[in-house]
Structure 1
Amino acid sequence: MNNNKKLRKSLCQISIQALCAGLLLPGLAVNAEVPQGYYDMADNTNAQALRNSLHQIIDDHQRYPYSSTATDTWDILEQADQDPDNSAHVIDVYLNASYIKHGAGNSDYNREHSWPKSYGFPVDVSSNYPYTDAHHLFIANDSYNTSRNDKPYDNCTSGCTEKPTEYNNARGGGAGESNWTGGSHTDGRWQTWNGRRGDVARALMYMAVRYEGGTHGITGHDEPDLILTDDRSLMDASQTKANISVGYMGLKSVLLQWHKEDPVDAFEQRRNDVIYGYQGNRNPFIDNPDYVTCVFENICSGIGVPDTPAAVVWINEIHYDNSGGDVNEFVELAGSANTDLSGWSLVGYNGNGGGVYKTENLTGTLTNQQGGMGTLSFAISGLQNGSADGLALVNAAGEVIQFLSYEGSLTASSGPASGMTSTDIGVAETSSTPAGYSLQLVGSGQAYGDFSWASASAETAGNVNNSQTFQ
């Protein structure tokens, strides 16, 4: 891994850790969209190229402890597997029961390793990344989890015991909606019910691409090579009771079948978003199910990257005037996390004649500070004090995204906003405004129109504003 990639991932993990406190709030709205540009490096030339590029995109995630007094996998899973109909409850993967959130030490549910830890990584130490990787951990009924144990996923055709489901979230509880199990260990089988079999299939596919041996690019810890197979003898050889370099799990052919039978749904998408908010990586087979056919079946024609929303960016905070000599003038932008601002610019307009007086070329990427959104502040000395001076936000294609002004409106006579009339934000700073104050958007939402401008208050450059929530 090159140093630039290490730096980007380190910065990402710092921002993700800062976000986690927000994700622990019950009922938090989750941005169910693929982050802007997340899969830009995906190479679908052939199966190996796509596998390699997806591995580079999703590896080196932020690890959280399995159990801890600090944020741990209990905290993550109780958000990821939250009952859509009741934010105080969780839904388990096999019984489909809805339980009050208890956290650790309860007798209703525990944590299921869909890739059983005994197949390659049974010992929980701080260097064991797959053991605590929430993308393959699920809230599971205690009894059903014990019954599944370390059996491979497989279809049960005879001699199996039925494990019924309960009706919740408009599914489960009916005929043909049961789990089935038989045998034990690598000679056994567990058939996941039809409402969640695709979920566990895509979880194991994620594990097979995320863990390809080598070392963690940031911490340097050794990681196993996890491989999907139909060969039960290879799985059996993986059960050494020690963390080993290669682990096998399956059955691969059945998981491919289940992936097709149970497509991605809103619950699984939200789960992916929540875990991304903690770990900083995503399950690509949830974001783009067609990747499965390329990586695991070598059918790559027509496979693209997932659609991503257009970048949403706006001017979020301004400081241009204060008592005494103007100090620390800046403009802050806010918008969709992972938006690269390279090539963007802020253009200052003079209310006297409408001409351009300053152009500030921008760089940097918006990080995920809250609710899939972030801010970035730019120090710009010499911002004019009005009246009716303006700022145009221009994207990399040269398009004017916003044309705002303070202390009145103006019509631009030159530059990218030529002929456009600005929108007055309706509040202003003066020569009496204390140093360290700014004009800020306040309110809740994820777009400029969700907020309103407020009178000057203590500045928050580079952070979510006072009285502002991204959700």
Structure 2
Amino acid sequence: MNKFLLLFAVFATISAGSVLASPNICTNCPVLNKVKDITNYAPGTYYANSQAAYGGDLVTFRKAIISDISKGQKQLSYGEVWTALTHTDEDPQNPDNVILLYKGNSIPKNHNGSGAASANQDYWNREHTWPKSHGFPKKSQQGYTDIHHLRPADISMNSARGNKDFHNGGTPVAEDNRNLSTKYTWEPRDEVKGDIARMMFYMDVRYDKNTGINMPNLILVDAINTNPTSGKNLPKLGKLCTLIEWHFQDPVNDFERARNNAIYEYQGNRNPFIDNPEWVDTIYEGRCSKSKVPDQT
């Protein structure tokens, strides 16, 4: 009888573990297994098509990038995003915490705003840096749960940003005055401007037309107020030339590289503009005047 109870307890523990991760990680966070091993990552192999097409015509190069970064990509559930972000945005100085995007502070992973905890404005939730109302309002759409553009953010700061376009200027946000806001735009703190720009470039390229998935063609445009009509879910976001400017002002850093590696392990694909920041010039060449984008020569 005792052996039976022991076996039952072990089975119950294993079964429970297969449904939810440890509550010390975060609330309502399912177990998420790795799909790739970063030690096996070889840039020349992963970007073989892109490197072969580099220097040729832009359409072919863009298609080659899409081919490389879509291969092996796992579509996560929205619940799995909670768990994924505890790995991708882990505080390198404290493995029990995550770093929040707009405030830059470190808070416990298990202070996630799931369920009743969503009422706590100082907890973190899942910020769609490319707002889901700009093209993919359904959880079944791949972009909705693509963690390349999802980041932990303070709940109240996430609400303050809303679905605004990215651009310079505005009134300092009361909760963190390093972020600025207007009716239509949001300027994040300087330390993450490049990070955000490269996430937007990824989304613009990854979810191009004719990709054969349940996503529209996402387009970065050099404009603001890109989704003026509620419910239209127009697949546009701005402001392109500002994002290119931010890309050069805030180069790729170690946190971004580590995050890209973690996403590769849990989602199976990479952001090419973190691995190859010079490709921004190639993909968006001629889209902005020299007066808008700093000369890098």
Report the TM-score range of the alignment, normalised by the length of the smaller protein: 0.7 to 0.9
Would you tell me which structure has more helix in proportion to its own residues?
2
Measured in 1, the distance between the counterparts of 2:286 and 2:62 equals 10
2:214 to 211, 222, 230: 222
3-state SS of paired residue (1:253)? helix
Residue number in structure 1 paired with 2:45: 37
Measured in 2, the distance between the counterparts of 1:235 and 1:257 equals 22
**Structure 1 residue 22, shift from structure 2 partner:** 5.6
Q: Is the 8 A contact 1:58 1:210 kept in 2?
A: yes
Measured in 1, the distance between the counterparts of 2:207 and 2:157 equals 27
Change (3 A) 1:204 1:258: same
Measured in 2, the distance between the counterparts of 1:32 and 1:95 equals 34
Q: Is the 8 A contact 2:226 2:238 kept in 1?
A: no
The one-letter amino acid paired with 2:215 is E
Residue number in structure 2 paired with 1:240: 231
Q: Is the 8 A contact 2:133 2:163 kept in 1?
A: yes
Residue number in structure 1 paired with 2:58: 47
Would you tell me which structure has more strand in proportion to its own residues?
1
Q: What whole-Å deviation, never above 9, does each CA across 1:96-121 have from its counterpart, x for those lacking one?
A: 11111114514311010000000111
Q: Is the 8 A contact 1:154 1:190 kept in 2?
A: yes
Residue number in structure 2 paired with 1:287: 275
**Structure 1 residue 129, shift from structure 2 partner:** 0.3
Residue number in structure 2 paired with 1:98: 106
The one-letter amino acid paired with 1:231 is A
Identical residues among aligned pairs (%): 35
Residue number in structure 2 paired with 1:135: 148
Q: Is the 8 A contact 2:48 2:68 kept in 1?
A: no
Give ranges in structure 2 of 5+ residues lacking alignment: 1-30, 288-297
2:86 matched to 1:78?
yes
Residue number in structure 1 paired with 2:181: 181
The 5-angstrom pairing of residues 187-336 of structure 1 reads 188-216=184-212, 221-232=213-224, 234-236=226-228, 240-241=231-232, 247-298=235-286
Q: What whole-Å deviation, never above 9, does each CA across 1:338-370 have from its counterpart, x for those lacking one?
A: xxxxxxxxxxxxxxxxxxxxxxxxxxxxxxxxx
Measured in 2, the distance between the counterparts of 1:273 and 1:197 equals 20
Measured in 1, the distance between the counterparts of 2:225 and 2:253 equals 34
**Structure 1 residue 178, shift from structure 2 partner:** 1.0
Q: Is the 8 A contact 2:33 2:266 kept in 1?
A: no
Measured in 2, the distance between the counterparts of 1:32 and 1:290 equals 24
Q: Is the 8 A contact 2:193 2:246 kept in 1?
A: yes
3-state SS of paired residue (2:231)? coil
The one-letter amino acid paired with 1:182 is T
Change (3 A) 1:147 1:32: farther
The one-letter amino acid paired with 1:240 is G
**Structure 1 residue 34, shift from structure 2 partner:** 5.2
**Structure 1 residue 182, shift from structure 2 partner:** 1.8
Which protein has greater RCO, CA pairs closer than 8 Å, 6+ apart?
Answer: 2
**Structure 1 residue 62, shift from structure 2 partner:** 1.1
Measured in 2, the distance between the counterparts of 1:241 and 1:91 equals 33
Q: Is the 8 A contact 1:211 1:226 kept in 2?
A: yes
Change (3 A) 1:38 1:48: same
The one-letter amino acid paired with 1:142 is I
The 5-angstrom pairing of residues 165-176 of structure 1 reads none
Change (3 A) 1:234 1:100: closer
Give ranges in structure 1 of 5+ residues lacking alignment: 1-18, 24-28, 166-176, 300-471
**Structure 1 residue 46, shift from structure 2 partner:** 3.4
Measured in 2, the distance between the counterparts of 1:215 and 1:294 equals 21
Residue number in structure 2 paired with 1:62: 74
**TM-score, normalisation: structure 1:** 0.49
The one-letter amino acid paired with 1:297 is E
Q: Is the 8 A contact 1:20 1:278 kept in 2?
A: yes
Measured in 1, the distance between the counterparts of 2:249 and 2:205 equals 21
**TM-score, normalisation: structure 2:** 0.75
Q: Is the 8 A contact 2:129 2:151 kept in 1?
A: yes
Instruction: Return the index of the structure with the highest Cα Rg.
Output: 1
Count of residues in Structure 1 that have an aligned counterpart in Structure 2 = 245
Q: What whole-Å deviation, never above 9, does each CA across 1:409-435 have from its counterpart, x for those lacking one?
A: xxxxxxxxxxxxxxxxxxxxxxxxxxx
The one-letter amino acid paired with 1:110 is N
Q: Is the 8 A contact 1:229 1:250 kept in 2?
A: yes
3-state SS of paired residue (2:68)? helix
